[in-house]
Amino acid sequence: MNRPLLRAIRATLEYDGSGFSGSQLQKSDRTVLSEVNAALSKLLDHPVRAKISSRTDAGVHAFGQVIGFRTSAPRQIDEIRHGLNGLLPDDIRVTDVAETDFRFHPRYSAVGKVYLYRILRMKELPPMKRNYVLFIEEHKPFDFGVLERALRVLEGEHDFRSFSPRLEPGENPVKVIRKTSVARDGDLTEIRFIGSGFLYQMVRRMVGLLIAVVQGREPESAVRSAIENPDLGSVRYNANPRGLILEKVLFTEDELKEAAGRESLESLE
């Protein structure tokens, strides 16, 4: 009897992180991977332990998280996507499924990631938005010119140890932020980071320091000082996870160039 052919599959997930203790597997807490693995194992009728591209903390959301897994089940790609969405809870959705090369790894094959951080400035925080933004009362100072200048300091290749409380064993703290941007839409401000990779809590701590600077609680020079003095320890500011979204994981140089813009890429070469 011939054995069923083993296949490598990648899938893209969107999720509301409010009800999860992060994305990674944990012994007793509800996580994104625990829900996904349970649904995959039931759908494919064999145990599945998917790999994930980017670890997200409790409360952090995703538009474009990527997982990879292997299966010998004969189900078609559309059946896998539809079946998973029928089994998963409402706060996770599979937006894309595709067969891939066995060399594909959702973490190690990635060449870049895009993170989005949302800040809402109003008189009061609307209850329906409380899990998806960092709320700052509108009467508090917030200098957008300082924000734009401070963001540019973060661009380029740097040792980002100042923006992480710990490194993984053997992890290189030197990362490249290809591009940053800030956009305003009424009361909402969105800060976007496009980089080759990010350390644990790196985006949240960058945003935390940026907010302290734009509100005048730290001098504008504090951002450059943190970049230039990575041995002095992690910055003490850590922005609320609710405002953070993993927007996209990038797997080719073309995707990276499209996300960051060819001009900014060339300026780093």
Q: What is the pLDDT of residues 111-146, one digit of tens each?
A: 999 999 999 999 999 999 999 999 999 999 999 999
Q: Evaluate whether 7-100 and 112-268 have a shared fold.
A: yes
Among 16, 29, 45, 57, which one carries the catalytic annotation?
57
CATH 3.30.70.580 fits 7-100, yes or no: yes
Beta-carbon count within 10 A of 191 CB: 23
Examine the residue annotation and report whether 57 is marked as an active-site residue of this protein: yes
Render pLDDT for 45-91 as a digit per residue (tens, 0 to 9): 999 999 999 999 999 999 999 999 999 999 999 999 999 999 999 99
Kind of pairing between the strands at 156-159 and 174-185:
antiparallel
Task: Provide the pLDDT confidence category of residue 2 given band limits of 50, 70 and 90.
Answer: low
Give the integer Cα–Cα distance in Å for 22 and 19. 9
Residue 188 has pLDDT above 80, yes or no: yes
> Domain 112-268 falls in which CATH fold?
Alpha-Beta Plaits (3.30.70)
Render pLDDT for 196-208 as a digit per residue (tens, 0 to 9): 999 999 999 999 9
Contact present, 38 and 73 (Cβ < 8 Å): no
Q: Domain map of the chain by residue range?
A: 7-100, 112-268
Render pLDDT for 109-120 as a digit per residue (tens, 0 to 9): 999 999 999 999
Contacts for 223-226 with beta carbons within 8 Å, 24 or more apart?
A: 223/150, 223/153, 223/154, 224/153, 226/162, 226/163
